[in-house]
Structure 1
Amino acid sequence: MNTTSVYLHGGRLDGTSRNAPLGPDGQPNERIEFAQQTHDGLWYVEYKRDRQSDTGWHFRATGNEERADEE
């Protein structure tokens, strides 16, 4: 599976980059959920594709986040 590095804005992962899988069209999915382990548990944080620039893809936090043990 091909991946690309995406830049995250807002939410718990603001200012970081993560690898995201590429779809058949060569673009990352419209929405991607990333996991983050913190001192208060494992969190799933949703990001939405925002824009592409000369530095790569940028994603913006949707505000949807869920703690793993709350499922």
Structure 2
Amino acid sequence: MRLGTVKQFDKGSSYGFIEDDQNHKSYFVFYTAIKEEGYKRLEVGQRVEFQLAQGKNGLQCVNVYLA
């Protein structure tokens, strides 16, 4: 698992970006990748653990958990 910080999350559109601690690149995240119970959303500045997988437009975050 990688560690990162939520840089942006649009609650209306349910997507955003997470900055990877390892390489400081930002990766797309969609709300379906969040593995928490209840209403799934992220807040700017939250620390998360995640994996990367190939999506339609490049690497994106999957299996996102609050750190």
**TM-score normalised by the chain length of structure 1:** 0.30
In our comparison, the structure showing a higher alpha carbon Rg is 1
Q: Which has the higher strand share?
A: 1
- Which of the pair has the greater relative contact order for Cα pairs under 8 Å at 6+ separation? 2
